[in-house]
Structure 1
Amino acid sequence: MNQRYRPITRLGLGGTGLGDMYHTTTDEDAKATVDAAWEAGIRYFDTAPHYGAGLSEHRFGQALRRRARADYTLSTKVGRRLVPHLPGEITAPFVGALPFKRVLDYSGAGVRRALEDSLQRLALGHVDIAYVHDLSPDALGDTFEHHFAIAAGPSGAFQEMVKMREEGLIKGWGLGVNTIEPCLRALQLSDPDIFLLAGRYTLMETTPLASLFPLCASRGAHVVLGGPFNSGFLAGGAHYDYMPASPAQIEHRERLRQVAARHGVDLPAAALQFGMAHPVVAATIPGASSASHLKRNATLMEIEIPVAFWEALVAEGLVPQEAPLPGRKPVV
C-alpha cells in the first residue's frame, strides 16, 4: 500500500477521554495517560477539536511537547471550527470544555482554518493525519447531504485536504466517521489515504467486510478502528455507540461472554484483537482517560487467545465466516 504518512503502531491512544468524555479528567491524569502510553510502546495518538472543545488537543500538546516529533504519529480532525465562547460549550457525551463553541464548517477555507487552529493548540508545525470529522448521516441528520456536497465540491474540504497534503501541513487524510457510506463516497470522489471508522468493525458488527474493506484494499487505503469496545460496551459498559444499549445488543454480548467463558478468554482482549486481523486495518484506538486504563489496554492486546475461541464464534454465527481472525486464514 502507498503510505505517505509515518507508520502507525497497531495500538493507539484515542483522545476522547482526554476531552472529558463521560467524566472529568485532570490535566495531571491526562499527562500520566499519555506517558503510560509511551511507556507501553504506543506511538499513535488521535485527537480532535470536538473533544472537550479543544481540551483534548491542548492536553496532547502539553503531554507530547517534550517528545521528539519524529518519534510518534498524531492525527486530529477538521470540520468543526472553534470560536470563543464563555464559559465553554459543553455538549454530550463530553462533560468539560475549553472556552469555545463548535461551528460546523466543511468548506475548504474552514478546514484549513480548523487545522491551523489545531496546530496552535498542539504547538506543532504539522500533523501526520487529518480526518474530516463526523461527515456522516448519524452525526448530521437531514443536513448530511448539504454538508457532504460542500465537502466534496470544488472549494470544499476534500480538495483542500489534498492541497494541504501537498504542502506538508498533513501527510495523509481521510474521514473520521461512524458509518461506512461516506467513506465509500470519498474513495469514489477523491484520493483519501486512511479512514478512522468507529464502532463498525467489532465483535458486535462487521459491515465493512462487504464493500468498504475490499475497496480500501484496491485503492491502497488503510483503516484505523475507533471504538473497538463500542463505547465501552464490550468491556462491560452500559453504552453502545454513545447511547444506552438495546436488549438485542445486550443479548449478543451475553452470547459472546458465554463463548469466552467456555474458552477461558477475556472478552475485552478478544474485542481489542479482533479487528487487527484484517489486512487493511492499520491500528485500533480505544479511548483511555487514565494510566491504569491505558496499561490494561496494552496488556489486553498481548494476551494469547486460542484459535478454538475464534472458531467457536464463527460456528455460532457471532462473526461471519469470511472475517479474517487471529491465527486463522481468511476464507476465499
Structure 2
Amino acid sequence: MRTRALRTGLEVTELGLGLAQFGNLYRETTDAEAAGAVDSAWAAGIRYFDTAPHYGLGLSERRAGALLGGRARGEFVLSTKVGRLLISQPDGADRQDDEGFVVPATFRRQWDFSRDGVLRSIEESLTRTGLDHIDIAYLHDPDDFRDQATTEALPALAELRDQGVIGAIGAGMNQSAMLAHFIRHADVDVVMLAGRYTLLDHEATTELLPLALERGVGIVVAGVYNSGLLAQERPAADGKYNYDTAPPEIVQRARRIAEICAGHGVTLPEAAIAYPLRHPAVVSVVVGSRTAAQTESNVDRYRATVPDALWEELRAEALLPPEPSRNPSPTIPAPTQETP
C-alpha cells in the first residue's frame, strides 16, 4: 500500500478506512464485523483510519481504540473530529439516536467550536479510544461556525499540535469554499473533503485544490461514491446521490461514465477511487466499510490498473475537467492574518 506525506511528515496510506459504520450507521454493525473489517484492512496494508465522536455517539471511537490499541502505535494513523460534544442524556436509553445511528440516545450532540469545547472534545476522544495521542484532528462540519472555527477552534488545535497531543490539524466538510477559507486564514496541515471531488462533482477543482497545492496542504478525499451512485458498475435508476435519490440527468451521466470505463476494462467504482488520487494535492481516499468483504472489495478496486486513455476520453467528452498541473515542489506560505 503506497503512502503519501503531509507537510508535517506524517504519512497516510493512499487508501484509508472510514469508520462511520462502526457507529452502527443505518443498521447495527457487530463487533465481529468491525474486527474483520480492520483485520482485512491491516492485512492489505491500510494504515489510515478515520472516526469521529458523532459516529454512533462515541461507539465508533471506542471500537477504533479497541481494535487498533493492541497494534504498535507508530504503525497506524488515526484521525478523529471536534465540534460535536457528547452530553450525557440518561433518559434517552429507551429510544434510538435520531441522526442515523442505531444506538441508544444516551448522549446528545452539542455544537461547540470554542477553545474549551475543542480541548474537552480531544480529551474525551483520547479517553474513548484509549490512545495517548491523536494523529489528525479535523473540525467536523463547521459550516455555521466559520468565524469561531477560524479564531478559536483551529488555534486550540494548533496548541495541541505544538504540545504533541495531535500530529496534524484541519477540517472536514461537504463543501470546498470554507475549506479554502481555512487554508487561507489558519495554520492547517490537511483537510478532508467529502463528495466534492469525484467523477460527478468537480466543485473543488476551481479553488480548493489549486490553493491546497500552492500552500502544501494535503487533501483527504471522502465520499468518492457520492452516497452510492458510483459504487455499482451499472448505476441504478433510483441510486443515491448526495444523500438523496439521484436526479435522472445525474444517473444518465454516471451511466455514460460507466460505459466509457467498461470500454477500457475498468469498472465505475475502480475509476471512482482512482480519479481523486491523480491530483497531486490529494494524499488519501477514505472509503467506509462494515465488514471484511467490503474492505477487500475496496482494496481490489484501489489496486485496479486504470489506463490514462480512460481519463483522456472522459475529458474529451467534457465529463471531467482538464488535467491538473503538477507542481513537484509546492510553496508553503504562511496563512494570512486577515479578519476571517
TM-score by length of 1: 0.90
Q: Quote the Cα distance in structure 1 between the aligned partners of 2:65 and 2:105.
A: 14
Q: Which residue matches 2:72?
A: 68
Q: Of residues 209, 213, 232 in structure 1, which corresponds to 2:228?
A: 232
Q: Deviations for 1:76-117, whole angstroms, at most 9, x for unmatched residues?
A: 000000111232761333333573211110101101101110
Aligned pairs (5 A) from 1:287-298: 287-298=288-299
In structure 1, the partner of 2:187 is 191
RMSD, matched Cα: 1.7
Q: Deviation string for 1:278-321 (max 9, x for gaps)?
A: 11100000101111000011111111122222211111111012
Q: Residues of 2 paired with 1:180 and 1:97: CA distance?
A: 33
Cα distance change on mapping 1:152 and 1:128 into 2, 3 Å:
same
Specify the code of the residue in structure 2 equivalent to 1:164. Answer: L
Q: In structure 1, what is the Cα distance between the partners aligned to 2:294 and 2:162?
A: 37
How many Å separate the matches in 2 of 1:315 and 1:227? 25
Q: What residue identity is the alignment partner of 2:72?
A: A
Does residue 215 of structure 1 match 2:208?
no
Could you tell which deviates more after superposition, 228-237 or 60-69? 228-237
Paired residues, what number? 314
Q: Does 2:261 align with 1:277?
A: no
Paired residue for 1:44, among 43, 48, 53?
A: 48
Match among 98, 121, 125 for residue 128 of structure 2: 121
Whether 1:55 aligns to 2:53 is no
Instruction: Tell me, yes or no, if structure 1 residue 106 matches structure 2 residue 113.
Output: yes
Is the contact between residue 19 and residue 97 of structure 1 (CA under 8 Å) also seen in structure 2? no
Q: Which runs of 5+ in 1 are unaligned?
A: 137-143, 326-332
Distance 1:89 1:3, change over 3 A: farther
Bigger Cα displacement from structure 2, 215-224 vs 314-323: 314-323
Q: What is the rounded CA distance, in whole Å, between the counterparts of 2:9 and 2:167 in structure 1?
A: 5
Residue pairs, 1:133-172, within 5 angstroms: 133-136=140-143, 144=144, 147-153=145-151, 156-172=152-168
CA offset at residue 34 of structure 1? 0.7
SS in 2 for 1:53: coil
Moved more, 93-102 or 17-26: 93-102
SS at match of 1:8: strand
Question: Structure 1 pair 161/210, CA: closer, same or farther in 2 (3 Å)?
Answer: same
1:11 maps to a residue whose letter is L
- Rounded to whole Å, the distance in 1 between the matches of 2:262 and 2:193 is 29
1:303 maps to 2:311? no
Deviation at 1:243, TM superposition (A): 2.0
Contact 1:11 1:42 in 2 (8 A): yes
Amino acid corresponding to residue 37 of structure 1 in structure 2: A
Structure 1 Cα separation of the partners of residues 112 and 119 of structure 2: 10
* Residue pair 2:35, 2:67 contacting (<8 A) in 1 also: yes
Match in the other structure for 1:200: 196
Q: What secondary structure is seen at the aligned counterpart in 2 of 1:286?
A: strand
| Structure 2: unaligned runs, 5 residues or longer | 327-340
The separation in 1 between residues aligned to 2:134 and 2:141, in whole angstroms, is 19
How far, CA to CA, are the matches of 1:295 and 1:222 in structure 2? 26
Closer/same/farther in 2, CA of residues 36 and 2 from structure 1, 3 Å limit:
closer
Select which of 21, 36, 48 maps to 2:25.
Answer: 21
Q: CA deviation at 1:199?
A: 0.6
CA 1:289/1:97 → structure 2, altered by over 3 Å: closer, same or farther? farther
Report the Cα distance in structure 1 between the residues aligned to 2:206 and 2:62, rounded to whole angstroms.
38
Q: For residues 314 and 233 of structure 1, do their structure 2 counterparts lie closer, same or farther at Cα, with a shift above 3 Å needed?
A: same
Structure 2 CA distance, aligned partners of 1:96 and 1:319?
40
The 5 Å alignment of 1:70-109 reads: 70-85=74-89, 86-87=92-93, 90-96=97-103, 99-109=106-116
Partner of 1:328: none
Once the two structures are superposed, residues 194-222 of structure 1 have per-residue CA deviations (whole angstroms, 9 ceiling, x without a partner) of 00100111101122122111111121100
Report how far residue 50 of structure 1 moved.
Answer: 0.7
Whole-angstrom CA distance in 2 between matches of 1:98 and 1:128: 29
Deviation at 1:22, TM superposition (A): 2.3
Q: 2: distance between equivalents of 1:228 and 1:245?
A: 15
